[in-house]
């Protein structure tokens, strides 16, 4: 393998992003047209705050999208309860994750969109917020933000850190660059032993295997009255759900539905796309193929002849998992790496998944080995596996029980994470003078 020994890549990155600054407005405008930015808050992406910095010490936690945001919220609440004088800023990248976070933050926590990783925006953001301590979730390694914050003297930690085999192999071509970025963190708290090993080999100076805090995320809630209405609307209809689906998977789900519907009268398939804004696109595709489709955002309860019911809303998966006894976890039939299956298992929903689950190898490995999940390939295998679980409630319950037993040993990561962060919290929150940020 030919490795790059260049230590100039970060300098080139800074130059390139500085030169690209005039294009930032065009980029954000394009993302607004696609529904990927909130127009009223677009200035936050340029580092312009929409709220004032409160007095006192401030911790900044960044979680890019939905999965990271959901997993880090229990940590935010623990910090909020343990340090009564601590202010907490949470940033996200996506609109969906922003809505989830804003609805769930405790009293002294606030949300902003993370700025684009261009020097002028980074300097503006850090100059306003001046965080004493920074947490980045999983694998967020933005060069300008990391190096500028490190030079300003902020203590930083990579929390619930993940380094996939694929990313590890790519970074091996740029060993000095990744070592320089990882050296910005005082500590990297790794999800798994494999993640810890890969981070150490790439140059992270202080790595601790604390476990995956996603195992400690509470089950998603559901409004009791909504749940009663939703269950009543389905009555005795056979049903299943496809959760966090990605482009290309809805075709497979439609084929599996058609196969299942041949022998199951009034079958209904629930689809909750990973990105809810895709709901209308999916509905149009299914309608064009002759199916009766409803969008949750337009009609709250499924009608008698509904074949596909699409959850294009946010924060309602607890309703879905409590209504079906089996679900397919998306991102696994396409080469995305799979989506987190922990939430459905906590609510007794049997899990089926595709072959591509590299983002959650540890979780799916434990589930598959313990009989708590089943891997399938293609629409026919999906239909066969799902049909068995739809028809046999006892078998679905046994699988759900096996899943809960398989994941039980992995709990405790949240407490381990907090314990590992205690020295950093103590050091970061001591009164000190902070250098002005410059990128």
Residues catalogued as catalytic: 68
**Which pair of tokens denotes residue 132?**
């004493």
Q: How far apart are CA 326 and CA 31, in angstroms?
A: 35
Q: How far is CA 343 from CA 142, 336, 350, 407, in A?
A: 29, 19, 11, 11
Q: What is the DSSP string of 32-49?
A: HHTT-S-GGGGGGGGT--
Nearest to 280 by CA among 312, 316, 241: 312
Q: How far apart are CA 265 and CA 161, in angstroms?
A: 46
**Cβ contact 280:183 at 8 Å:** no
What does the longest C-alpha to C-alpha distance in the chain come to? Answer: 71
Helix axes 66-82, 95-104, angle to 10 degrees: 30
Q: How far apart are CA 184 and CA 335, in angstroms?
A: 31
Helices marked H in 214-278:
224-234, 249-261
Compute how many other C-beta atoms are within 10 angstroms of the C-beta atom of residue 44: 23
Phi, psi of 284 (to 5 degrees): -65, -40
DSSP state of 266: T
**170-201 core/surface letters (b: 16 or more CB in 10 A; e: else):** ebeebbbbbebbbebbbbbbbbbebbbebbbe
H or E element at residue 15:
helix 9-19
Helix axes 378-391, 393-407, angle to 10 degrees: 100
| Complete edge-to-edge strand list for the sheet that includes strand 58-62 | 109-113, 87-92, 58-62, 133-137, 155-161, 187-190, 207-209
Q: How far apart are CA 277 and CA 274, in angstroms?
A: 9
């Amino acid at each position: 393998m030919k490795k790059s020994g260049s230590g100039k890549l970060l300098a080139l990155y800074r130059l390139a992003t500085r030169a690209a600054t005039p294009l930032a407005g065009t980029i954000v405008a394009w993302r607004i047209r696609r529904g990927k930015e909130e127009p009223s808050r677009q200035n936050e992406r340029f580092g312009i705050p929409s709220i004032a910095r409160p007095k006192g010490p401030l911790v900044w936690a960044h979680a890019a999208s939905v999965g990271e945001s959901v997993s880090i919220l229990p940590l935010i609440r623990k910090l909020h309860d343990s340090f009564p004088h601590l202010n907490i800023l949470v940033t996200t990248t996506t609109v969906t994750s922003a809505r989830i976070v804003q609805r769930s933050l405790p009293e002294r926590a606030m949300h902003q969109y993370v700025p684009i990783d261009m020097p002028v925006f980074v300097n503006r953001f850090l100059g306003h917020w001046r965080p004493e301590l920074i947490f980045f979730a999983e694998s967020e390694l933005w060069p300008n933000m990391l190096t500028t914050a490190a030079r300003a003297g902020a203590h930083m930690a990579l929390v619930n850190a993940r380094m996939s085999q694929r990313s590890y192999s790519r970074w091996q071509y740029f060993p000095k660059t990744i070592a320089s970025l990882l050296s910005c963190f005082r500590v990297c708290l790794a999800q798994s032993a494999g993640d810890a090993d890969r981070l150490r080999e790439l140059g992270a100076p202080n790595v601790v295997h604390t476990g995956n805090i996603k195992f400690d995320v509470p089950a998603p809630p559901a409004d009791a009255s909504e749940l009663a209405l939703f269950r009543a609307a389905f009555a005795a209809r056979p049903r299943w759900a496809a959760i966090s689906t990605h482009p290309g998977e809805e075709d497979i789900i439609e084929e599996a539905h058609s196969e299942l519907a041949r022998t199951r009268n009034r079958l209904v398939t629930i689809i909750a796309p990973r990105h809810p804004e895709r709901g209308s696109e999916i509905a149009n595709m299914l309608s064009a193929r002759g199916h009766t489709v409803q969008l949750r955002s337009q009609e709250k309860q499924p009608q008698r002849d509904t074949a596909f019911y699409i959850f294009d809303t946010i924060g309602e998966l607890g309703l879905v998992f409590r209504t079906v006894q089996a679900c397919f976890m998306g991102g696994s039939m396409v080469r995305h790496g799979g989506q987190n299956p922990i939430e459905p298992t906590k609510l007794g929903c049997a899990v089926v998944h595709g072959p591509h689950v590299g983002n959650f190898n540890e979780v799916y490995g434990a589930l598959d080995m313990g009989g708590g999940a089943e891997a399938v390939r293609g629409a026919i295998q999906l239909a066969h596996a799902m049909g068995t679980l739809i028809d046999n409630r006892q078998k679905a319950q046994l699988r759900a029980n096996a899943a809960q037993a398989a994941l039980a040993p992995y709990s405790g990561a949240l407490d381990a994470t907090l314990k590992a962060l205690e020295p950093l919290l103590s050091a970061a929150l001591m009164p000190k003078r902070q250098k002005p940020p410059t990128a």
